[in-house]
């Protein structure tokens, strides 16, 4: 069986009934990547040697304990290039980290490896995960498998495109303002951002530390839940990692939505939403109603200032996090006899324009004269945004909305920064409040995929999966294959 058409659950069965092996699956995956990557440029590099070692180890585990081996055992995965893997070049799609080879593996990735997953490569993304179209990568843009002239979304564009192109059944990305959910929506796959604190950020190259979370892309909600439960859980190496036990999202996955109260935030249907997207999402709401959920109009009035809040807090944190790229300990150094000039030249030549904009915006917002007016103000509005969610969740079990106001747009279409920032207008409030959210395919607009976003209270990650799974199983959208996946199959 080819991984092209498959889910983790189907592949796990084939690895146990002897119809496939980790080595076979790996060979098919790498051949598939060879066929698609010239069109998508989803991979910055493949990791054949590491993958072969992991596939052989997985084969031994499956032979010894076929029943007790974890579901991820022998399953090919792709990793966004902001995730550190010991001995594998990791660049965050930035020139400033060209040639950087981490001396350690991050926790989320290590948990996947411990479960027997096979790492096939590192995926392209916006530089330091800053962007919504993958056009900010220093190593070239990514083509959307539904139309390679269009963007896959971002910043985890390569991971989303790889799953949509049928290369791998799942991939990891990171989500700071929508960077998993928005590309999942634009590429027609499932993308999940966990509750802040559920997945360790140790070994994730930091963008905005109070917002970043690692999460999965997959072809089904169940698969996303399998990957999530593999990587979630407390890690003493991340001081923001929550010590509470993680409930198994698979236990109540099939409980359905009958009797559930679902909130529809009216502000999420404004914000420049495309009519085709609105139509698809409204149809999805009727499906959920048909499954026994009740819909309730709710209001999150601070949504309008969410974007402004985010574009102070995220750049402020980024300007601090990116201060470490100074040509001293790792990555690029542009030589100059004076240290200060070495810093200036290294950072000027190492960073791309969007990273520079955000570093400048962040240092400005944090500078003594403007701290109160920008950073402190944004932190207060963040409280208002989080409180609005809390109030709404007193009345409804989950929220449903579009993931992105538009479907995939043509490359080069959004050359002014603010129009690009608008891509994340209904995903970034979820990060500001630290909530779990998912995007699940819910139809097409002009032949391009549309995603339905489901949001739940903090630590109710299982509820997100349950609502999304109920919707997915009642529709056929998740079975649709991109033209590129069909052609390469």
Partner 1 sequence: MLARLGLDEGERERFGAQLEAILDHISKLQQVDTSDVSEMAQVGELVNVMRDDVREPCLGAERALSNAPAGDGRHFVVGAIQENELDG
Which residue matches tokens 């399998």? Answer: 226
**Is residue 465 a contact residue for partner 1 (CB under 8 A)?**
no
- How many residues touch partner 1 under the rule CB under 8 A: the total is 72
* Candidates 6, 94, 155, 229; catalytic one: 155
**Is residue 299 a contact residue for partner 1 (CB under 8 A)?**
no
In sequence order, what are the residues at sequence separation of 6 or more whose Cβ sits closer than 8 angstroms to the Cβ of residue 415? none
> Exposure pattern of 196-230 as b/e (b: 16+ CB <10 Å)?
bbbbbbbbbbbbbebbbbbbbbbbbbbbbbbbbbb
Q: How far apart are CA 362 and CA 314, in angstroms?
A: 8
Residue 178 · residue 431 · CB < 8 Å:
yes
**Is residue 151 a contact residue for partner 1 (CB under 8 A)?**
no
CB of 22 to partner 1, least distance (A): 30
Tell me which stretch binds partner 1 (CB under 8 A): 33-41, 106-114, 251-259, 370-378. Answer: 370-378
Q: How far apart are CA 83 and CA 109, in angstroms?
A: 7
| Single residue of 35, 345, 444, 483 touching partner 1 by CB under 8 A | 345
For 241, the token pair is 């990692």
Interactions with partner 1, residue window 440-459 (CB under 8 A): 458
What are φ and ψ of residue 444, in 5° steps?
-135, 150
Determine whether 380 is an active site residue.
no
- Residue 275 CA from chain centroid, whole number: 25
Interactions with partner 1, residue window 56-115 (CB under 8 A): 99-101, 103-104
Nearer to partner 1 (CB atom), residue 84 or residue 488:
84
**Is residue 234 a contact residue for partner 1 (CB under 8 A)?**
no
Determine whether 462 is an active site residue.
no
H or E segment and range at residue 192: strand 190-193
Nearer to partner 1 (CB atom), residue 38 or residue 383:
383
| Single residue of 31, 251, 258, 339 touching partner 1 by CB under 8 A | 339
Residue 120 · residue 141 · CB < 8 Å:
no
Nearer to partner 1 (CB atom), residue 12 or residue 312:
312
| Single residue of 382, 414, 463, 466 touching partner 1 by CB under 8 A | 382
Q: How far apart are CA 448 and CA 482, in angstroms?
A: 9
| Single residue of 294, 363, 473, 475 touching partner 1 by CB under 8 A | 363
CB of 342 to partner 1, least distance (A): 6
What are φ and ψ of residue 7, in 5° steps?
-105, 165
Tell me which stretch binds partner 1 (CB under 8 A): 66-74, 245-253, 270-278, 376-384. Answer: 376-384
Tell me which stretch binds partner 1 (CB under 8 A): 115-123, 150-158, 276-284, 342-350. Answer: 342-350
- Pairing outcome for strands 398-402 and 437-445: unpaired
Interface pattern 180-219 for partner 1 (x via CB under 8 A):
----------------xx------------x---------
Determine whether 132 is an active site residue.
no
Which residue matches tokens 């932190």? Answer: 379
- Kindly report whether the peptide bond that precedes residue 357 is cis, defined as omega within 30 degrees of 0: no
Residues with catalytic roles: 80, 155, 179
């Amino acid at each position: 069986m080819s991984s092209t058409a498959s889910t983790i659950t189907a592949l796990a069965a084939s690895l146990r009934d002897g119809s496939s092996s980790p080595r076979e699956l790996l060979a098919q995956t790498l051949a598939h990547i060879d066929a698609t990557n010239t069109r998508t440029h989803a991979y910055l590099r493949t990791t054949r040697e590491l993958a072969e070692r992991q596939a052989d180890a997985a084969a031994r585990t499956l032979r010894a304990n076929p029943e007790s081996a974890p579901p991820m055992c022998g399953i090919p995965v792709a990793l966004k290039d902001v995730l550190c893997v010991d001995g594998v070049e990791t660049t965050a799609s930035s020139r400033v980290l060209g040639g950087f080879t981490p001396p350690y593996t991050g926790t989320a990735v290590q948990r996947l490896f411990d479960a027997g997953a096979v790492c096939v490569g590192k995926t392209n993304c916006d530089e330091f995960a800053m962007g919504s179209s993958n056009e900010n990568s220093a190593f070239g843009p990514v083509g959307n498998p539904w139309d390679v002239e269009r963007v896959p979304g971002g910043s985890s564009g390569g991971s989303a495109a790889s799953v949509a192109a049928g290369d791998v059944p799942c991939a990891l990305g990171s989500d700071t303002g929508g960077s998993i959910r928005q590309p999942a929506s634009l590429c027609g796959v499932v993308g999940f951002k966990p509750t802040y604190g559920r997945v360790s950020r140790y070994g994730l190259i930091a963008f905005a530390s109070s917002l970043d979370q690692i999460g999965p892309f997959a072809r089904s909600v169940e698969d996303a839940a399998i990957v999530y439960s593999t990587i979630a859980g407390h890690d003493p190496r991340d001081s923001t990692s929550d010590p509470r036990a993680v409930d198994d999202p698979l236990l109540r996955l099939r409980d359905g939505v009958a009797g559930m109260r679902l909130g529809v935030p009216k502000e999420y249907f404004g914000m420049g939403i495309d009519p085709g997207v609105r139509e698809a999402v409204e149809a999805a709401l009727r499906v959920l109603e048909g499954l026994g959920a009740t819909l309730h109009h709710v209001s999150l009035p601070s949504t309008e200032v969410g974007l402004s809040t985010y574009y102070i807090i995220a750049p402020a944190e980024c300007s601090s996090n990116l201060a470490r790229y100074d040509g001293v300990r790792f990555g690029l150094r542009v030589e100059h006899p004076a240290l200060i000039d070495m810093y200036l030249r290294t950072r000027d030549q190492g960073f791309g324009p969007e990273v520079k904009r955000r570093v400048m915006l962040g240092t400005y917002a944090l500078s003594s004269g403007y701290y109160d007016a920008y950073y402190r103000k944004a932190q207060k509005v963040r409280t208002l945004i989080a409180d609005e969610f809390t109030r709404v969740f007193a009345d409804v079990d989950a929220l449903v909305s579009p993931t992105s106001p538009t479907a995939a747009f043509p490359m080069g279409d959004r050359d002014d920064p603010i129009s690009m920032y608008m891509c994340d207008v209904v995903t970034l409030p979820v990060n500001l409040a630290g909530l779990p959210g998912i995007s699940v395919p819910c139809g097409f607009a002009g032949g391009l995929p549309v995603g339905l976003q489901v949001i739940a209270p903090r630590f109710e990650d299982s509820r997100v999966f349950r609502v999304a799974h109920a919707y997915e199983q009642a529709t056929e959208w998740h079975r649709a294959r991109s033209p590129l996946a069909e052609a390469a199959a």
